[in-house]
Amino acid sequence: PSHLREGRMREWLAHNVDWAISRSRYWGTPLPIWICEGCGAVRCVESAVELGLAPGSDLHRPHVDRVSLACTACDRTMRRIPDVLDVWFDAGCLPFAQTGYPTARSDEFQESFPPDLMVEGVDQTRGGFYTSMVISEALFGKNFTRRAIALGHVLDGAGRKASKSRGNVLDPALVFDRFGADSLRWWFYTSVPLGRSYQISFDSIDAVARKFLRPLWNVFVLFDAQASWSDFEPRLWPPSLVESRPCLDRWILSRIAGVARSSRKLLDEYDAHGASLPYQPLITDLSNWYVRQWRRRFTGSQSRPGDRPAGLWTLYEGLLLISQLLAPFIPFLTDAIHRSLCGRSVHLCDYPDALDALQDPGLEETMAGLRATCEEANRMRSAAGVRQRQPLFAVTLPAPGYPADLLEIVGHEVNTRRVEVAGSALMIDSRSTPDLVAEGWARELIWQIQAERKRVGLGIQDASIVLYRSGSRLESALAGFRELILDETRSVQLLRLAGDEDATTCSIDGETVHISVRQAARDAVPAGA
């Protein structure tokens, strides 16, 4: 990173001193220097063969110390000096010594040197990085690598360097068992920029799993259930042209393509941290915005012809792309998703490229504006004291407004029956009518029924039978929204609950309501299906 390159490394080079490469140690690589006891002649030995030893002989101390040579100048005995090499000299020789160069595999070394990348800990700016640089410049007159990356140390929750001696190391096996390996991998990618220290804890890893991995998996599970219920089979269904799909579908594909482009650029620059960051808001957009609108297509009263196939194709293609794009980061989760979608390992696929045709910056800007409008309208609703599930009389948007299918999203997000485009300012009409109040109660009941469906373990493919009991005022008002309740809760019957049956109790506008949800017969068809 630049702060290490221009700071710690540059300062070290600017104030550099001579490097004594010998050490008085028992262990280490022996200095291959023999000195004559008589005339003081010096000889640097290159191989075991030159010492008269068989290849593969042990050249460490004390064995090598017993080897003597005859001096060619005076016929006296030459003995090895007792010092060993500084261990950092060993490290600095790694780029070429690992190939056996210069005594062997010379061509292989010349083809691969210098390497594209060298990665070490931050402490190696004065260790491995520096010594590799010195030796490479001395021997070859070139840098030791095309790019070097320094990674920070791992710290414990208190900010202390993790080490076995302190006993503050987080056992990776426990992390894998509790959160999965992908959670730890994603935490390392996203937690801090390159060169900074990583302060690790179970809580920080859990936050990564909760905010990123689980939402992605939940989107897949939702799609898988809906695709199964809809008999979606990509090999058999006619393809849906992207340009003919609703704005919402084209928007999410554009978001994926945009993130793919920016992330790929950073990956090509070896910036894994920067490349990972755009995916968090993408998955948030996918799970919190796109899927919320997407689910409405599969309730009959709010679905148009072609909406369901387009939605299934879009989420299928989107999840395929996302699993391929994220495969280098989180290989296990993405492979599970990819195999479930198409039966093939994601790691046998080419990395996605050439997605520019899916990008539509204008549509992304429009959607950002629409979302901001919805958020502002809901703030105005809250300030007016109107509950979220209580429909507004009307919302007026400033001209020029949005395409028709996006105006529908405004209606759903703001919960209003009428969306008008006029004037120059956003306005809400919070007038209340008996019919709007009754619809608000119906939507509150829908929310309670959905919670009860989840509690009893019903999936989106399961039809249900709803039994409820309330006071006469509420029951009379809800009668006009019977079809809406059935449609929104995937139910086939809405029945009166007998007094002696077990039920969940809740309150709607101060009136007690008893609800019981049961699974309907397997062949029952929910309203609007």
Determine which helix (DSSP H) or strand (DSSP E) holds 148, and give its type and residue range: strand 148-151
Of 290, 322, 311, give the one whose Cα is nearest residue 240.
Answer: 311
Predicted pLDDT at 2: 75
Q: Are 463 and 520 in contact (CB under 8 A)?
A: yes
Check the CA dihedral 377-386-466-519 and report its sign.
positive
pLDDT at 429: 95
Q: What is the pLDDT of residue 399?
A: 81
CA–CA dist 511, 500 (Å, integer): 19
Rounded Cα distance, 53 and 333, in Å: 54
Residue 134 and residue 126: Cα distance in Å, rounded?
11
Residue 302 pLDDT level (bands cut at 50, 70, 90): low
Bridge-based pairing of strands 419-421 and 394-397 is parallel
Q: How many CA atoms lie within 13 A of 254 on its CB side?
A: 18
Comparison of pLDDT for 526 and 134, the residue scoring more: 134
Quote the pLDDT of residue 12.
75
Residue 525 is predicted with a pLDDT of 58
Q: What integer pLDDT is reported at residue 355 of this predicted model?
A: 92
| H helix and E strand count, the chain | 20, 17
Residue 524, pLDDT score: 63
Cα end-to-end distance, the chain, whole Å: 56
- The sign one gets for the Cα dihedral 381, 384, 386, 391 is negative
Question: So what's the pLDDT on residue 216?
Answer: 98
Give the whole-number percent of the chain exceeding pLDDT 70. Answer: 97
Residue with tokens 């957009």: 285
pTM of the model: 0.84
Does the pLDDT at position 500 exceed 80? Answer: no
Find residue 496's DSSP bridge partners.
468
Tens-place pLDDT, residues 19-32: 888 999 888 899 99
Alpha helices in 192-278 (DSSP H): 202-208, 214-229, 247-268, 272-276
Tokens of 226: 């809906």
**Predicted confidence (pLDDT) per residue in 448-482, tens digit:** 999 999 999 998 888 899 998 888 888 888 889 99
Alpha helices (runs of H) in 15-167, residue ranges in sequence order: 87-97, 106-112, 128-140
Q: Is the pLDDT of residue 528 over 70?
A: no
Q: What mean pLDDT do residues 265-273 have? A: 93
